[in-house]
Amino acid sequence: MKKANNSSILFILVLWLLMVTTFFTLLVEAKKNHNTKTKMHKNKKHKNVDHRNNPPNDANSPVPIPDKGTSTYPTKSSVFNILTFGAKGNGVSDDSKALLGAWNSACKVTRATVEIPSGIKFLIKPITLQGPCMPNLILQINGVILAPPKIGSWPKSSLYQWINFKWVQNFTLQGSGTVDGQGYNWWGTSQPNQKKKSKKIPDIKPTALRFYSSNNVTVRDITIVNSPLCHLKFDNSKGVKIDNITISAPESSPNTDGIHLQNTQDVEIQYSNIASGDDCLSIQTGCSNVHAHHINCGPGHGISLGGLGKDKTAACVSNIVFEDIIIQNTLYGARIKTWQGGLGSVKNVTFSNIQVSNVKVPIMIDQFYCDKNVCKNQTGAVAISGVKFNHITGTYSVQPVHLACSTSIPCIDVDLISVQLEPTPGYSGFQQELCSNSYGKSMGPLVPASIDYCVRSGSDYVKRISRSHDYYCW
């Protein structure tokens, strides 16, 4: 019994101990919870203080600041006005940061528009506007954007281009405004209002607008003027539409190409006016499926494919159509130029319905292209095949047709169809057509009639030579 009694007392004691332990454990837990809650509350208070010190329009804020009235409708397009992002808009202060701020905010929003308002001038230093962005981004230029006029104010590391669009997709650049490269100090031509001769001009000169590695881009309605070098360039891109743009620079400005394409496919260029000191359209290696139509070109150097194959490099250009084009007061009209010693091919190029007026040499294939006085003769050339000159009419002031094809690799399937070229009235010293190593067919009417002999029907042997040089391009 005693033993039993002892066991009972022990049992009660253990039970009591358990209860006491549990009680204290619960008490401690409850206290802990209370402390944590107080701490959290304190933290919240602390954050609020921080927030007040950093208002939402701080430069570090990731929150976009759309214009008034659009923010409440997230499904509607949002407008990001450069003025809202601190632009001065006096044409002298550097507004690049404001443009970059507006771009970066708009980039995150679907169907956003970055707006450069009309009637205001903005000075923009060299800048990269980078994607990828949300779909359907628009840069709306209604005002004027100006490049730095002084060469010295361009950073040495940013001489390749002024405005660099990089990795953008499904993007539109549009508006009634003007992009002004203020390039006169770069041209090395003296301006009447320029007393001092400009300092040494760097070898690298900036292109005004460059699209690099970009897809499905539309450029429309804008005016681009006075670039230090090329006005609008696309490289390594795909899916380009250029519509209703105007490009202009003085005839005396060197190397100021209008539109320059390299390694770019699926391009349509239409209803545009281009006058500059170099090629209106310049198509370089890696381009295919380009359709340019309803273009006014001149003054300048005309429409040009190349120069291709410089320094024994390979070039591949195919499926290019130029049609319904008016070319006036230019050095050349429809031209393909390649360097001696190159590799690769130019295939399937059509120049159709080109109206020329006072063009020095309206039709030209030059496989001896050389920008110095003398270039060494070399065997090997970029093989040219399938070039149609169809319905080229108007006036020339030096030579109507110049087809100088490679002696080692002749041009094949070069067709002259309805080519009618008369001397420009009032000029003298005309030259006869020059035609060598080109094979194809001709179809009347042909003026002068002698150009009928420019293209001969090619033998299978000639075709084999040309095609054996095709292997480089696919």
Ligand X SMILES: *[C@@H]1O[C@H](CO)[C@@H](O)[C@H](O)[C@H]1NC(C)=O
Cα–Cα separations (whole angstroms), residue 15 to 11, 25, 467 = 6, 15, 102
Which residue from 22, 43, 90, 377 is in contact with ligand X, where contact means CB under 6 A? 377
With b for 16 or more beta-carbon neighbours within 10 A and e for fewer, the 230-252 pattern comes to bbbbbbebbbbebeebbbbbbbe
Peptide bond into 426 cis (omega under 30): no
Active site residue 324: no
Q: Pick between residue 134 and residue 398 the one whose CB is nearest to ligand X.
A: 134
221 binds ligand X (CB under 6 A): yes
Which residue from 65, 321, 417, 434 is in contact with ligand X, where contact means CB under 6 A? 321
CA distance 32 to 442: 97
Among positions 122-141, residues that touch ligand X (CB under 6 A) are: 135-136
Concatenated DSSP letters for 70-126? TTT-TTS-EEEEGGGGT---EEEEE-HHHHHHHHHHHTTSTTEEEEE-TT-EEE--S
Q: Which residues pair with 346 in a beta bridge?
A: 317, 384
Which residue from 289, 313, 329, 353 is in contact with ligand X, where contact means CB under 6 A? 289
Element (H, E) at 45: helix 2-53
Active site residue 391: no
> Which bin fits 242, alpha (ψ -120 to 50), beta or left (φ > 0)?
beta
- In the bound complex, what is the minimum distance in angstroms from residue 348's beta carbon to ligand X? 4
Among positions 244-283, residues that touch ligand X (CB under 6 A) are: 244
- In the bound complex, what is the minimum distance in angstroms from residue 135's beta carbon to ligand X? 6
Which residue from 215, 345, 357, 395 is in contact with ligand X, where contact means CB under 6 A? 215
Active-site annotation holder among 260, 301, 402, 469: 301
Which residue from 130, 170, 262, 408 is in contact with ligand X, where contact means CB under 6 A? 170
Cα–Cα separations (whole angstroms), residue 192 to 184, 200, 278, 473 = 11, 19, 22, 49
With contacts defined by CB under 6 A, name the span among 148-156, 189-197, 214-222, 453-461 that binds ligand X.
214-222
CA distance 259 to 280: 6
Which residue from 36, 90, 176, 432 is in contact with ligand X, where contact means CB under 6 A? 176
Per the CB < 8 A criterion, the answer to whether 229 and 256 are in contact is: yes
* Strand 223-225 versus strand 246-248 pairing type: parallel
CA distance 103 to 131: 10
Residues near ligand X (CB under 6 A), total: 20
Among positions 380-439, residues that touch ligand X (CB under 6 A) are: 407
239 binds ligand X (CB under 6 A): yes
Q: Pick between residue 85 and residue 171 the one whose CB is nearest to ligand X.
A: 171
Q: Pick between residue 16 and residue 471 the one whose CB is nearest to ligand X.
A: 471
- In the bound complex, what is the minimum distance in angstroms from residue 323's beta carbon to ligand X? 10
Which residue from 130, 158, 213, 348 is in contact with ligand X, where contact means CB under 6 A? 348
Give the binding site for ligand X (CB under 6 A).
135-136, 169-172, 176, 215-216, 218, 221, 239, 244, 289, 319, 321, 348, 374, 377, 407
Active site positions, annotated = 278, 301
